[in-house]
Structure 1
Amino acid sequence: MAVATEEPQSFPAAAGVVSPSAIVEAAVRAAIAWAAIAEAPSVAVIQKDGKEFDAFVSYANTSSLGEDDESNSYIITEEKFALELLPNVLEKQHGYKLCLFERDILPGGVYTEDVISCIKRSRRVIIVLSPNYIARNDSRIFELQTGVSSMLDNYKTKVILIKFHSLPDRVDLPENVKKAITVLPEITWKGKKSFPPSSNFWKMLRYHMPVKKNNIVTSQSFN
């Protein structure tokens, strides 16, 4: 819902000599009005920006874990994190709408065109960084590059990096990944410590997500 704002008021018309106090008062009213206008898009954009999704999720659909890691119930693969845990918390508990390629895109299309279309329709691009994400130096890096390009072309789109597993030494990273890590917000997944929805991980992730007027979705909505 768009926030009602009032037009900034001009200085009093000079019918003679304008007192300094009248100028200060008019300036304060104008500043307040302009501040209201500046804040209005952050509330209205979630409904009126023409975007279909709150975030497109990019991840490696192959596991970076070893067999010993996968036996630990608190350690999950990138795929389960993206397809199960993220939707369970962000969609079911906080009312966000994610774009998951395997879930939301019909098969048979041209991959590059589908990715560009999905990212253009999303307010955020969540990149789940892991060794396998970087190792697949084709499709996944294309999604990262497309997200960054969209961010540069359209200020409404922002990229969020989730450091899901430890990465190789920065010297060995692709150049575009180095630049992304340097300038983009990065949130670290810490396994068991990050699982609870009340953890700092989810608080930080929600901080970088679009502003929603009603951010909490009651459990009754999913019964």
Structure 2
Amino acid sequence: VMGLLHLILVSTFLSVSMTSESFHAMEDEALVVKCPQNCQNRTIKWYITQTNQLIPAEEGGRIHSSGRFLWFLPTSKEDSGNYTCVTRYSNYTKQSTVSVMVYPHKQGICFPSWIRYPNDTGTLTSGRIVCPTIDNYAKATIVKWYKDCKPLQGPREKYSMGEKYLFIKRPQKTDEGHYTCHFTYIHSGNVYNVSATRPFIVKEEVSSPISPQIQYPTDNTVIQVEFGICRALLGIGKPNIAVVTWEVNEIKAEYLNTSRFREDHQFFMRRDREYYGESTLTIEEVTEEDLLSNFTCVALNEIENVVLTVTLQLKVPCKGDNHSTYITIGVLVLLVIIALLLILYQFFRIDIVLLCQGIFKPNKTQDDGKIYDAYVIYPKNRTNEANFVEYFVHQILPDVLENKHGYKLCIYGRDMLPGEDAANALEIRIQKSRRLIIILTPQLIQCEEFGYEHQIALYNALIQNNIKVILLEMETIGNYEGLQESLRYIIKQQGTIKWKEKYKECPHASNSKFWKLVRYHMPLRHKPLQLNYAV
């Protein structure tokens, strides 16, 4: 009855009908519809067009109205239809109709098949996509953007979000598609999801408007002050969109603790019509956390979004700042160089030492009372069978160390005079040697005749400490348990130089790792003493 009475009253006045807007929403999301009429200080009532049922203006119901706005919290697919907003004036009534279409959710589909929101058109130099109907939702927050139902991904330089917009830097044809903005809306303490979709098309542009140019500071600058100024050229003439602002760790400065951070904005135009924007970020009290934070200056207009990052450094009010900085940098660089040199030396220590010996050739006479560079101890072969160890001692070892590198060796059997007392000769020659080369083989464990020579050598090495030992492990011995305790002690202290099967291919190659290690442990080469004997 009330609906019929209302129709009678409306028909007696001049009415103007306007059906100019359509709204599309997904089921179970929030939808806020705005009446197309712009009526200030007028009472607006909402009706369901098909039934002329008045929609209540009290909050709390799933569907309710207030002024120009009609709320669906949340939507249901039964809400699809037409709704009329009526404004009554002194002598006539004005009404407008809006269309609402609610689509059910389908797997893999994030927007309705019929898109009614107008296209957004970008250029080859810039692209801005406006989130549809977001102005109808007070304090809405965009959570994410989708392109063709897939989450939008890309570098920060390519995409950036404003409060209502998505900016695409230098869009291409591959950027065309359907873009869906997903945002949250809070009403009466309840949080609702909202999504809206519109196509985006890239077109050629005859003229290319100027992009924002941040003039101060430069990217990756260290600012030694307690406040920062971001100044950007935003265009020739005042652009439709002009924003210059600061972000701290990708959070807008205006959302930070206002007791410490304060941001001031200024826009001005010069006589040459160059339009500038400035944003000054003041930090009342700089903390250690601020020194570790990234401060980003953001400048955008309708063409492009430009960002750069700076870091803070506490300002020290003394004249020697630059000098101290240079000294600190110099010390750090020097420490890094020293560390690198030490690492290189550890890896190439042997090659470096041998190279220096070859360059400087420290081949001089030394009055140390020694005659031989090394005395060689090896297990003797008592059979007539071929023995590689003896071949190594009598052929390969002298060829490499004596013939190629000028050392003088004392080898038992080769350097002993006929008729000499063996025990006395061994002791004298070991004492006259600068190094003791011991050939290690499993045969060494069972060789009883080797014991005396071995004891004299180790006595000089361990007790008198006047001769260094070089252990050449020609065959794998295992855990060395069968060797003398004194020999095991030396092995534990300095290890052995192991002869490997691969060295037999070129046993005389003095540049192999084996011979480099032997030469590294040998003494510096010395000329023999010129002894004058009185006749």
- Name the TM tier (shorter chain): 0.5 to 0.7
Query: Which structure 2 segments of 5+ residues have no match?
Result: 1-361, 528-535
Query: Are 1:55 and 1:97, in contact at CA under 8 Å, matched by a contact in 2?
Result: yes
- 1:60 pairs with 350, 374, 379, which one? 379
Change (3 A) 1:213 1:104: closer
Change (3 A) 1:91 1:77: same
Name the structure 2 match of 1:34: none
Change (3 A) 1:44 1:150: farther
SS in 2 for 1:62: coil
Q: Compute the displacement of 1:168 (Å).
A: 4.8
Q: Compute the displacement of 1:174 (Å).
A: 3.4
Change (3 A) 1:86 1:63: farther
Aligned residue pairs total: 162
Describe the superposition over 1:36-80 as per-residue Cα deviations: whole angstroms up to 9, x where unpaired: xxxxxxx6996211111000001112289xx8xx7xxxxx61111
Change (3 A) 1:213 1:51: closer
**Structure-to-structure mapping, 1:102-121, within 5 angstroms:** 102-121=413-432
Query: Are 1:134 and 1:140, in contact at CA under 8 Å, matched by a contact in 2?
Result: no
2:491 & 2:497 partners in 1: Cα distance?
11
Q: Is 1:83 aligned with 2:394?
A: yes
Aligned partner letter, 1:49: D
Query: Are 1:62 and 1:132, in contact at CA under 8 Å, matched by a contact in 2?
Result: no
Change (3 A) 1:89 1:183: same
1:52 & 1:211 partners in 2: Cα distance?
13
Q: Compute the displacement of 1:204 (Å).
A: 0.3
Q: Compute the displacement of 1:130 (Å).
A: 0.4
2:465 & 2:490 partners in 1: Cα distance?
16
Q: Compute the displacement of 1:186 (Å).
A: 1.4
Name the structure 1 match of 2:179: none
1:52 & 1:187 partners in 2: Cα distance?
25
1:177 & 1:151 partners in 2: Cα distance?
10
Name the structure 2 match of 1:206: 519
Q: Compute the displacement of 1:111 (Å).
A: 2.2
Aligned partner letter, 2:431: K
Describe the superposition over 1:125-177 as per-residue Cα deviations: whole angstroms up to 9, x where unpaired: 100010112210x3323323322221235544111110011115433333333
Describe the superposition over 1:157-215 as per-residue Cα deviations: whole angstroms up to 9, x where unpaired: 1111100111154333333332232224411111333622110100000010001279x
SS in 1 for 2:407: coil
Describe the superposition over 1:91-127 as per-residue Cα deviations: whole angstroms up to 9, x where unpaired: 0000000001111111333322221111001000100
Aligned partner letter, 1:179: Y
Q: Is 1:146 aligned with 2:456?
A: yes
2:363 & 2:464 partners in 1: Cα distance?
17
**Structure-to-structure mapping, 1:95-134, within 5 angstroms:** 95-134=406-445
- 1:157 pairs with 467, 473, 476, which one? 467
SS in 1 for 2:400: helix
Name the structure 2 match of 1:176: 486
Name the structure 2 match of 1:218: none
Q: What's the Cα RMSD here?
A: 2.7
SS in 1 for 2:461: helix
SS in 1 for 2:374: strand
Q: Which has the higher contact order (CA 8 A, sep 6+)?
A: 1
SS in 1 for 2:406: coil
SS in 1 for 2:380: coil
Change (3 A) 1:46 1:175: farther
1:53 & 1:125 partners in 2: Cα distance?
10
1:191 & 1:127 partners in 2: Cα distance?
19
Query: Are 1:91 and 1:97, in contact at CA under 8 Å, matched by a contact in 2?
Result: yes
Aligned partner letter, 1:133: L
- 1:188 pairs with 498, 502, 507, which one? 498
Change (3 A) 1:60 1:84: same
SS in 1 for 2:410: strand
2:379 & 2:418 partners in 1: Cα distance?
18
Task: Work out the percentage of aligned pairs sharing the same amino acid.
Answer: 36
Aligned partner letter, 1:205: V
SS in 2 for 1:171: coil
Query: Are 1:159 and 1:184, in contact at CA under 8 Å, matched by a contact in 2?
Result: no
Q: Is 1:48 aligned with 2:367?
A: yes
TM-score of the pair, normalised by structure 1? 0.64
2:512 & 2:379 partners in 1: Cα distance?
24
